[in-house]
Chain A
Amino acid sequence: MLGFRRGCFEKVCVSSHGTIRGRVPRGLWKEQEQLETPVKRQLPPPGPSSTFLPPHTHTLDPSHTFWIVPFKKISPSFDSQTSQAFFPKRPIMEDLISREPRDLGRALCIITGASKGYGRALAFQLSCRLKPRSVLVLVARSTAQLNELKEDIVSLCGQNKLDVRCVQADLEETEGVEKTVQALKETNSTEMDHVLLINNAASLGDVSRFAQSFTDPAEVNRYLSLNVSGALSLTAGVLQAFPRRLGLRRTVVNISSLCALKPFPSWVLYCTGKAARDMMFRVLAEEEPDVRVLSYAPGPLDTDMQLQARRFSGDLNLRRSFCSMFSEHQLLSCEESGSKLIKLLLDNNFPSGAHLDFYEL
C-alpha cells in the first residue's frame, strides 16, 4: 500500500502500479530547475513550448514521503495529461516563495474565494508564512472544497501550528458578510500582531454580452453586490472588529486586475467592478493611514475564470487573445503570481493604496 501526500496544486490519484497523474503549473516547473535534487536528472528539462513531455511512470518507494506536483500539458498536441512526477520529501512550498526566513507574524489571515483558483493557491502559500498559533480563515460558498483545502493545509503545516477555519458564506449577502465577521470575532485575537484580509472572491459576470444588453438592473445589482459591496462591507467589518491598536499591523489586499485600469469589450461588469474596487481601496488608504492597503493585479492566471474568459468572451478578438495565451503557455500559475504578492507583503514597502501588477514587479 503506497502512502502519499496530496500536493498543493492538484488532486492526484494513485494507480495500483504506483503511478500518479495530475497537472503542474508552469511556474513550478521553472522552480524545479533550480532545485539541486535527483529529480532534475530524472525528468527531462522543459523545452520550448512546442515540445512535450512523454508520459513516464515511476514507482514510488513507500519508505519515502512524496510531495506530488503533477505536470501541465505543455503542448496542445499532447493529448494525454499523464505526465507524472515525484519528489523526495522536501518543503517545496517554502522553496517556491523564497528562501528567506521572513514571515507575516502571528496573524489572523482571512482569504475570500478560497475554494479554488488564486484564493486556494494563496491559502497554501500564506499558510507557510504565518507564525505558529496564527489563524487562517478560509471563506467560500462551497463547504466541501473548503474542508478539503483545510485538510490539505493542515497536513502540510502540521496540526498544532496553524488553526485553519472554514466559513461557508456568500458575500453577496449581508448575512454572508456578517457570518464571516462573526467567525473572526470568535478567534482569539489578543495575541495577534497582524490582521491580513485578502479580498479575492469575485466573479467574471456574463462576458458573452455587450454593455447594450444589460437592461435589467437586478442583474447588474447582483453582480455589484458580490464584487463591490461585499468587499467593502467585509473590509469594514474586519476593521471594526479589529480596530487600530499599538502592536497590531492591519493589511487589506484587493485582488485587482488590468481591467480596473483598461476597458475590455464585452467585459463591462468585470471592468466596472474592478475599477470601483480599486477606487474604494484608494479611499480606504486615504482614510486609514495605519492600514496597509494594496490592490494587486495578479496577471492572467490559469484558473476556471480564465477558462470562462476564453470560452465565452463576446468580443472575438479578445476571445482569440485568451485562447492564444492559453495555447502559447503564457498564462501564469497561481503560485507564480502568489509568490510575488507574498513578497510584496513581506517587503511591506508598497505605497498604501497603490495598484501593482504582476508584470511590473
Chain B
Amino acid sequence: MSAGSGPGPGPGLSSGFGKALVIITGASRGFGRALALSVAPRLSAGSVLVISARSEDRLLELKRDLGHGDPGITVRCVVADLGCKAGVESLITETRDSATDPGIQTLLLVNNAASLGDVSRRCRDFTDVCEVDSYLSLNVSSALCVTAGVLRSVPGRPGLTRVVLNISSLCALRPFPSWVLYCSGKAARDMMFRVLAEEEPDLRVLNYAPGPLDTDMQLQARSSSADDALRNTFSVMHANGQLLTCEQSVSKLMKVLLEDTYPSGAHLDYYDL
C-alpha cells in the first residue's frame, strides 16, 4: 500500500493499488480494454472501476469479462462520447458518484480514449477549422476537462495516492508525415500533463507511450496513412510480427505504476523500460 502523497515518487504500491477508484476512458477495445483486465485483479475489495467508451455493448461485454475475476470490485459503465460536452460531464458525474468511500487508497485516472484522425490527408488539406476543432475536442480538451473534473471530485488527502495517466505516443515527440492531427494532439497532451505535474506536486502524473500496438488504430495506420514510406513501415511491422500485444505493453505499464518511482510529468516509452 502506498503512503506516497508527498512530493516526488512514493515508496511503491507493492503488488496492487489497494482499495481504489479507477477510471479508464476508451475502455471498450484495444489498450484500454487490456488495461482494465490487468488492473482489476490488482484492486482490493471495495474498489470501483469506472469504464468509459461510446459503445454500450462492448462496455457490458467487458464488464462481464471483469466479473469473472474478483467479485469484490464494482464495475460502472459510462457510455459517453468524450468529444461532446455532455459526454465529459457524464463521466465526471459518475466519478463523483463513485467517489463516496473515504477509505480509498488510490485514485487512478487513465486518459486513454483517443482517435487517429484522418491520416489519409496532409496539413495542406485541413482547411476547415471545425474539423480540426472536433479532433482537438476529443483528443485534447476532453483529457484536460475529465482530469480536472475527476481531481476536483476526489481531492487530495493523506493516505490517498492520486495517479493521472496520459496514454501518449512517440508521436508526441516526433513528427510523422500525414499525421498532423495525431502528432499535434499528442504533443499538446504531453505538455498539458507536464503543466499539471508542475502545478500539483502531490499528484503522480505519467505520460506513457505504449509502443506500436496490434489494435484497430494500428490497422487504420497501415491501411490509411497517406505517406507511402510510413504506411510501408507499419505494414512491415505487422507482417514481421513486430507489433506489441496490448498485454505486453500493459504489463510494463503496471510495473512502472506499482514501482511508483517515475518522476511526475515524465514521458516514458515502452521501449525505454
Q: Are B141 and A224 in contact (CB under 8 A)?
A: yes
Query: What residues of chain A lie closer than 8 Å to B227, measured between beta carbons?
Result: 287
Q: Are A240 and B197 in contact (CB under 8 A)?
A: no
Q: Are B123 and A272 in contact (CB under 8 A)?
A: no
Q: Are B132 and A228 in contact (CB under 8 A)?
A: yes
Residue in A229, A266, A268, A278 whose CB lies within 8 Å of B192: A268
For window 226-246 of B, CB contacts with A under 8 Å fall at 227
Stretch at the interface among A93-101, A104-112, A213-221, A338-346: A213-221
B268 close to A (CB within 8 Å): no
Q: Are B187 and A279 in contact (CB under 8 A)?
A: yes
A15 close to B (CB within 8 Å): no
Q: How far is the CB of A265 from chain B (nearest CB, A)?
A: 5
Query: What residues of chain A lie closer than 8 Å to B125, measured between beta carbons?
Result: 236, 240
B52 close to A (CB within 8 Å): no
Which residue in chain B gives the minimum CB-CB distance to A280?
B184
Q: Are B180 and A283 in contact (CB under 8 A)?
A: yes
A interface secondary structure, majority:
helix
Residue in B85, B126, B199 whose CB lies within 8 Å of A210: B199
Query: What residues of chain B lie closer than 8 Å to A229, measured between beta carbons?
Result: 129, 132-133, 136
For window 167-211 of B, CB contacts with A under 8 Å fall at 172, 175-180, 183-192, 194-200
Say whether, besides A215-B149, A279-B183, A286 and B176 are in contact (CB < 8 Å). yes
A225 close to B (CB within 8 Å): yes
Q: How far is the CB of B153 from chain A (nearest CB, A)?
A: 10
Residue in A173, A216, A237, A283 whose CB lies within 8 Å of B177: A283
A272 to B152, CA, bound (A): 21
Residue in B84, B129, B172, B194 whose CB lies within 8 Å of A230: B129
A248 close to B (CB within 8 Å): no
Residue in A213, A228, A271, A273 whose CB lies within 8 Å of B148: A213
Q: Are B141 and A217 in contact (CB under 8 A)?
A: yes
Total count of chain A residues near the partner, CB < 8 A: 54
Query: What residues of chain A lie closer than 8 Å to B92, measured between beta carbons?
Result: 215
A175 to B128, CA, bound (A): 9
B124 close to A (CB within 8 Å): yes
Say whether, besides A218-B85, A275-B190, A280-B184, A236 and B140 are in contact (CB < 8 Å). no
A239 to B121, CA, bound (A): 14
Chain B 71-86, CB within 8 Å of chain A: the 1/0 string? Answer: 0000000000000110
Q: Are A286 and B187 in contact (CB under 8 A)?
A: no
Q: Are A233 and B148 in contact (CB under 8 A)?
A: no
For window 172-230 of A, CB contacts with B under 8 Å fall at 172-174, 177, 181, 210-218, 220-221, 224-225, 228-230
Q: How far is the CB of A208 from chain B (nearest CB, A)?
A: 13
Query: What residues of chain B lie closer than 8 Å to A232, measured between beta carbons?
Result: 123, 126, 132, 180, 184
Which residue in chain B gives the minimum CB-CB distance to A279?
B187
Q: How far is the CB of B18 from chain A (nearest CB, A)?
A: 24
Query: What residues of chain A lie closer than 8 Å to B195, measured between beta carbons?
Result: 211, 263-265, 267-268, 271-272
A82 close to B (CB within 8 Å): no
Which residue in chain B gives the minimum CB-CB distance to A244?
B124
A285 close to B (CB within 8 Å): yes
Residue in A172, A217, A237, A288 whose CB lies within 8 Å of B145: A217
A276 close to B (CB within 8 Å): yes
Q: How far is the CB of A274 from chain B (nearest CB, A)?
A: 8
Query: What residues of chain B lie closer than 8 Å to A276, measured between beta carbons?
Result: 136, 140, 184-185, 187-188, 191
Query: What residues of chain B lie closer than 8 Å to A282, measured between beta carbons?
Result: 175, 183
Query: What residues of chain B lie closer than 8 Å to A230, measured between beta carbons?
Result: 129
B32 close to A (CB within 8 Å): no
Say whether, besides A215-B152, A221-B141, A286-B176, A263 and B123 are in contact (CB < 8 Å). no
Query: What residues of chain B lie closer than 8 Å to A225, measured between beta carbons?
Result: 129, 133, 136
B212 close to A (CB within 8 Å): no
A284 close to B (CB within 8 Å): yes
Chain A 311-347, CB within 8 Å of chain B: the 1/0 string? Answer: 0000100000000000000000000000000000000
Q: Are A217 and B192 in contact (CB under 8 A)?
A: no
Q: How far is the CB of A283 from chain B (nearest CB, A)?
A: 4
Chain B 137-176, CB within 8 Å of chain A: the 1/0 string? Answer: 1001110110111011000000000000000000010011
A22 close to B (CB within 8 Å): no
Q: How far is the CB of A177 from chain B (nearest CB, A)?
A: 6
A189 to B197, CA, bound (A): 48
Q: Are A228 and B136 in contact (CB under 8 A)?
A: yes
For window 30-48 of B, CB contacts with A under 8 Å fall at none
Query: What residues of chain B lie closer than 8 Å to A266, measured between beta carbons?
Result: 199
Q: Are A212 and B148 in contact (CB under 8 A)?
A: yes
Residue in A172, A173, A283 whose CB lies within 8 Å of B184: A283
Q: Are A228 and B85 in contact (CB under 8 A)?
A: no
Beyond contacts A217-B85, A271-B195: 16 other A-B pairs, Cβ-Cβ < 8 A, are A174-B129, A211-B144, A211-B147, A215-B148, A215-B149, A220-B144, A221-B137, A236-B127, A263-B194, A263-B197, A276-B191, A279-B183, A279-B188, A280-B180, A287-B178, A288-B123
List 17 A–B pairs whose Cβ atoms lie within 8 Å, in order of A's numbering.
Answer: A172-B129, A181-B127, A212-B200, A214-B144, A214-B145, A216-B145, A224-B141, A228-B188, A229-B129, A236-B123, A240-B127, A260-B191, A276-B185, A283-B176, A283-B179, A287-B227, A288-B124
Q: Which 6 pairs between the two chains have the least Cβ-Cβ distance?
A: A275-B191, A279-B187, A229-B132, A282-B175, A276-B188, A263-B194
